[in-house]
Structure formats: structure tokens, C-alpha cells
Structure 1
Amino acid sequence: MELSETGRGDMSLQIDRLARLFEALPFDPAHPEMTREPGVDVLAERISDDGTPPGGRLRITVTEQEVTPAQAETVTRALRVYCEQRAQALRREVARVRRNGRSGLKGGIPTLALALVLSALCEQFAPFPAAINRLFSEGLLVLGWVVLWHPLEILLYAWRAPIRLAKAYERLAQMPVLLQGRPATP
């Protein structure tokens, strides 16, 4: 599989057979460096990573015997459906991640509030020697914020990569596809 950008958002993918567009290859110990993901996923990752501008075309090059007018229409339709389904799945995943983040906040915020109250009580009433009071007071503050760490990370960052990838699949679904053949290599 060979992927290249040809300018103005155009992309070119050269694959050995059309099925490789949607199928992953099994791991081959003789060629561990080989790209195994389906061609469409490689394209979406590239668009997501590079921010390929919208409005480009996708040129898919395969062996001549696989290129027919009917096959070109089938590939275009299959690519659109596959990309739309992947984008929808990623958006559902983002919704699930955000729900998990909000759910974590439901437990984290009261825990932080309790930790703040206990820390203030520890400082105000000083039930232990000064060094131990400070240890408990500071420890409770740290504990309260640590409990919020993961939910905040989810809400602030975890959804960004999947949403960027979903947008890449949506852009890929809209790209006009040009299927072209090349002579088969022996």
C-alpha cells in the first residue's frame, strides 16, 4: 500500500487489490514494518493527522483487471457507506466518553468538597501536632484533586482525537473517487 498527497487536498492510494481498501492484513513476521490497517483507515488517519484541506479527490490505483465502470461506482458507494458508519461509531464513542467524564464528576466533585471541608477542619481545630495537621490538611487537598483528575482529563482531552478522526471519515466520505488501473506486475 502506498499513500501520497498530490496537492490541493487530493490524495492517491495505490493498493494491490480493491479488497485491501477495507480489509486489514494479518501480521507477517517476515515483514513487520508493513501497513496492516485497511486502506480507508490509513487515509482517514492521514487526513486527521495532517488536516488535509477539504475539497480534494481520492485517486485509487489497483490492477487493470479490477477497474470497470461498475466497480468504480461500487467502490465510491462502499467507501461513502463505510466512512459514514465509522464516523457515526466514533461519534457514539465520544458521547460515551463524555458520559463517563460527567459520571466521574458526579462522584469527584462531592469528594473534593468533602476533602476541602475536612482539610479546613484539620487546620482550624488542629487535633494533632502541627506537622501532622499540615500533612493531613495538604493530603486531603491532594486527594480531592486527584479524584477529579481523570474525569477532567476525559472531559477536556479524551474526546478530541476521536472527533478529529470522525471528521476525517466524514470528509473522506464526501471525496470524489477516481479508480484507475495499472498493469499487473508478475
Structure 2
Amino acid sequence: MPDLSSIYRTENGVVLIELKLRKIHQLFNTLDPSPFLEKDMDPEAEEYIVDAMLDIGPGKPVKLLIYLPDPDDEEENADTLAAAIRHYFAYRHKAARQDLSQLFQQGRWSLVTGLLFLVACTVGRAAMVWLSVSPLVLPVVEEGLLIMGWVAMWRPLQVFLYDWWPIRRRIKIMRQLSGITVEIRSSETMEV
């Protein structure tokens, strides 16, 4: 698979995620009445930044570079903006960790339920043999119970083998974004 980080500009070994805005507030959800530091990020802006991080990959040094028409007008907001962005991604990191914890809790309950059902099906199978059910019906019922028992194990196996990987990756991305360096520059300096 090609390294998608090469499509992003670098500066002194740091990969740049670049955004061009008219105003800082474009970065945040305008419907959110929270104070600036606690505002939700605009969904499209968040998706762009997170997708860029997925392209770049976790662990590489990254900087969020925001271009504004007149950054001097927003200079007093630069530190607040950086703090708001980091705060938002710290919140998303915490939410992703909670999602993983809930998934594992659901997986544990599914495993207990699946194992109990598998045991019940296995006991039912043995009971059919012991009761000497009709030889025509016995194989069908036996196999049916065995299949049902293993189908009950599908969800816990899916959780513990596959479902947690994307959430773990999201946790790594959000952790890195919660400490990202943010810089504001003039739109005129943006390289095309």
C-alpha cells in the first residue's frame, strides 16, 4: 500500500495538515452554544483532519497549519484556538476509550451468554442421543443444536477478534491530535 503521507507537505520533517479558512469560527460547530474552548468541531473539519491523520499514520510528527486572510486580526485567538482544538480531540480520545471499554464489556456479556447457550445446546444434543430419538430426526436435531450453539458464539468472537481494532486505531489518532501543534499563517503565504 502506498504511503499516503507523501501527498502532504512537510516542513522541517513535520507533516502539515493545512486548512484555509475565512474566520477561525469556521472550524467549530456554529450550533454549539458552549464556550469557545469547549465547542464541538465542525464535522467536516474534524473529518478532514482525522482523515489526514489516517493517511499520515500515527506516530509521525504533525502540525495543523491554518491559513486565514488576516491572521493579525485573530492573533489574540491563536493560543485559544490551539487549546480549543487540543481540548476537542482530548475529549474525542476519552470518548473513543469509553467506546472501547463498552465494546469489551458487551463482548464479555456476549461471551458468557454464548458459552451458556453453547453448553445448553451441547447438553441438548447429548440428551437427544440418550433419549434415543428417532434415527431419522436425530442427526438433523443434533447438527441443528451444534450449529445454533456455535452461532451464539459469533458475536463475542467478532468483538474480540475484529471489532476493537478500528476503535484502537481511533484512540491512537485522537491521542496524537490532542497534543497537536497548531499554527496560524496568512493565506497569502499558502503554497499551492
Aligned partners of 1:52 and 1:13: how far apart in 2? 19
1:151: which partner in 2?
156
What displacement does 1:11 show? 1.6
How does 1:164-175 map onto structure 2 within 5 Å?
164-175=169-180
Aligned partners of 1:133 and 1:66: how far apart in 2? 82
1:20-63 deviation digits (Å, cap 9, x = unpaired): 222279xxxxxxxxxx7241342123313552542121111233
| Candidates 62, 71, 76, aligned match of 2:77 | 71
Aligned partners of 1:10 and 1:53: how far apart in 2? 14
TM-score (norm 1): 0.78
Letter in 1 for 2:140: L
SS in 2 for 1:180: strand
Q: Which runs of 4+ in 1 moved over 6 A?
A: none
1:47-82 deviation digits (Å, cap 9, x = unpaired): 135525421211112332675332211111111111
Query: Is 1:129 paired with 2:135?
Result: yes
Query: Is 1:80 paired with 2:86?
Result: yes
Aligned partners of 1:141 and 1:103: how far apart in 2? 21
What displacement does 1:128 show? 1.5
Letter in 1 for 2:148: L
Give the direction of change, closer, same or farther, for the CA distance of 1:118–1:42 in structure 2 (3 Å limit): same
What's the % identity of the aligned pairs?
A: 24
Letter in 2 for 1:155: F
Give the direction of change, closer, same or farther, for the CA distance of 1:69–1:16 in structure 2 (3 Å limit): closer
Q: What runs of 5+ residues in structure 2 fail to find an aligned partner?
A: 1-6, 32-41
Instruction: Give yes or no for contact 1:23–1:38 (8 Å, CA) kept in 2.
Output: no
Q: What runs of 5+ residues in structure 1 fail to find an aligned partner?
A: 26-35
TM-score (norm 2): 0.76
| Candidates 46, 58, 62, aligned match of 2:64 | 58
SS in 1 for 2:9: strand
Superposition CA RMSD, Å: 2.5
Query: Is 1:120 paired with 2:103?
Result: no
| Candidates 6, 9, 26, aligned match of 1:6 | 9
Query: Is 1:139 paired with 2:134?
Result: no
1:155-179 deviation digits (Å, cap 9, x = unpaired): 2222222221121121112221111
Letter in 2 for 1:96: Q
Aligned partners of 2:119 and 2:9: how far apart in 1? 56
SS in 1 for 2:29: coil
SS in 2 for 1:128: coil
Aligned partners of 1:166 and 1:14: how far apart in 2? 26
